[in-house]
Structure 1
Amino acid sequence: MDKKKFPVLIKYCFLKGKNTVKAKTWLDAEFPDTARGKSTIKHSYTKLRCGEMNTEGGEHSGRPKEVVTDENIKKIHKMIATECVHHIIDEYLGMRKLCAKWVPHKLTFDQQ
């Protein structure tokens, strides 16, 4: 059976007044190979008790399907190049790394 039809069957059990155990037993008897799990039924019952009667799968939050694009890769490379600690110390503080220590680009007479 199609996965999308199970929320309707779970809602049917809920409206008939069956608890989650009876709903699971009934679904296992009717659809032994494809019935939903106990936690899925409990989650659906919780939503139904809160008044969410929609059985259609709506939009879900989460990672978009197309995350790795050329545009995103370029943006990330730019962020890494311009917003890392090394860049800040080099550009804004005027220091560079020399022998594992950060020293100013321009040394004073005493520092030489």
Structure 2
Amino acid sequence: MQRSLEQRMAIKFCVKLQKSAAETIPMLKKAFGVDCLSDRQIFRWHKAFAEGRKDVNDENRAGRPSASSSDDNVKRVRDLLNTDRPLSVRFISETLDITKTIVHEIVSESLGMRKVCAKLVPKSFNFIFLQTG
């Protein structure tokens, strides 16, 4: 995300220097290499800046915001797991009214846990269960 912001600033700079989009593309490719925006995106941003756009940030998009990393959901899942460890993702999902994929992401990514012997435990404890099992 940060790279594309830098590239948009570079495109805006090229527009101010009155460089064409065709002149801008090779400069960006040389500067950013494999992380460079596509030619189509460079043309789109070049045109927007040439037409007077000032802001380099993306516009807000319609749609449902991601709920996976909301602090409230992470706290709710953590609190439920702290009451009784042997809970399934499905049970947590139904209890808290959060989709199973989001619960799984919270448990594995945000809380750093995984299922061992039908219990959700912190990933750092895995080696203990594997050695004693």
What is the TM-score when the length of structure 2 is the normalising length? Answer: 0.45
SS in 1 for 2:62: coil
The answer as to 2:70 corresponding to 1:70 is: no
Matched with 1:18 is 19
Q: Which amino acid aligns with 1:32?
A: G
Structure holding more helix per residue = 2
Where does the alignment leave 5 or more consecutive residues of structure 2 unmatched? 68-95, 99-133
What's 1:55 paired with? Answer: 56
Alignment partner of 2:34: what SS? coil
Secondary structure of 1:32's aligned partner: helix
Matched residues, percent identical?
Answer: 17
TM-score by length of structure 1 reads 0.52
Match of 2:3 in 1: 2
Question: For 1:13-47, what per-residue CA distance to the aligned partner results, in whole angstroms no more than 9, with x for missing partners?
Answer: 11111111110011112222211111001110221
Q: Which stretches in structure 1 are left out of the alignment for 5+ residues?
A: 72-112
C-alpha RMSD of the superposition: 2.8
How far did residue 49 of structure 1 move?
Answer: 2.8
Displacement of 1:3 = 2.6
Q: Read off the aligned partner of 1:36 and give its amino acid letter.
A: L
Rg (Cα) greater in structure = 1
Cα distance, 1:58 vs structure 2: 4.1
